[in-house]
């Protein structure tokens, strides 16, 4: 078959237009959050209002992308106080995750945003701090033009079911496995 021939089975023609979609980036490999932030960049490029809520990352462990995003007009909420295994106060971590969800729920419901990113939201869901059905309901009942991206390992089946697009990033290998520390400019 010559390179310029049309493939025998063409993909189905996309004819439906929807006002918004729900995207889930899950799996154990690197790239879930960065893919979400890359999409946020696209949204900004189209003049949308964008909001990022981080459920886990620390304010002390300051991610570089937050500064850039803020300069671009992205609203960025970091209320997490670090990964749980770093935390000496579990209750505080849980309370902060719940507070993050309260913020995120309002942002989604406001209808003010073209895109809301719920970064690392699966973890507090898995740990039972935020009820899965509440998150799923809030996303399902969102104003029609609000796109939502959720990231984190082990996305609950209910969230996967609701989503339009789900990508599972599989770790083939990671530098961390060889003892390489997180790198500024690459990992945060």
Q: Which residues bind ligand ATP (CB under 6 A)?
A: 28-34, 120, 151, 169, 171, 174, 176, 182, 187-188
Choose between 87 and 145: whose C-beta lies nearer to ligand ATP: 87
Choose between 32 and 107: whose C-beta lies nearer to Mg ion: 32
The interface partner of residue 142, options being Mg ion, ligand ATP, none and the CB cut-off 5 to 8 Å by kind, is none
Please check whether residue 124 is in contact with residue 102, taking contact to mean a CB–CB distance below 8 angstroms: no
For residue 3, report the phi and psi dihedrals to the nearest 5 degrees: -60, -25
Closest contact distance (angstroms) between CB of 118 and ligand ATP is 12
Rama region for 153: left / alpha / beta (φ>0; ψ in -120 to 50; rest) = beta
Nearest to 149 by CA among 110, 113, 102, 124: 113
Closest contact distance (angstroms) between CB of 153 and ligand ATP is 6
Applying CB under 5 A, the span of 13-21, 24-32, 68-76, 127-135 interacting with Mg ion comes to: 24-32
Please check whether residue 151 is in contact with residue 26, taking contact to mean a CB–CB distance below 8 angstroms: yes
Choose between 108 and 121: whose C-beta lies nearer to Mg ion: 121
Q: Is 154 helix (H, G, I), strand (E, B) or coil?
A: coil
- Any contact of residue 93 with Mg ion (CB under 5 A)? no
Sign of CA dihedral 171, 173, 176, 179: positive
Stretch 33-92 residues interacting with Mg ion (CB under 5 A): 33
């Amino acid at each position: 078959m010559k390179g310029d021939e049309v493939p025998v089975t063409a993909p189905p023609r996309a004819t439906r237009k929807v006002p918004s979609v729900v995207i889930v980036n899950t799996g154990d490999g690197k790239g879930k959050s960065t893919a979400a932030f890359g999409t946020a960049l696209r949204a900004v490029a189209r003049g949308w209002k964008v909001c990022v809520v981080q459920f886990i990352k620390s304010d002390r462990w300051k991610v570089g992308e937050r500064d850039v995003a803020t300069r671009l007009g992205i609203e960025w909420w970091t209320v997490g106080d670090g990964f749980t295994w770093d935390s000496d106060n579990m209750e505080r971590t849980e309370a902060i995750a719940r507070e993050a969800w309260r913020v995120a729920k309002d942002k989604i419901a406001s209808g003010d945003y073209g895109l809301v990113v719920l970064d690392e939201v699966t973890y507090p869901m898995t740990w039972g701090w935020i009820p899965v059905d509440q998150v799923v309901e809030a996303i399902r009942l969102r104003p029609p033009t609000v796109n939502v991206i959720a990231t984190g390992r082990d996305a609950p089946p209910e969230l996967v079911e609701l989503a339009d697009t789900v990508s599972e990033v599989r770790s083939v290998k990671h530098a961390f496995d060889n003892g390489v520390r997180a790198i500024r400019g690459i990992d945060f």
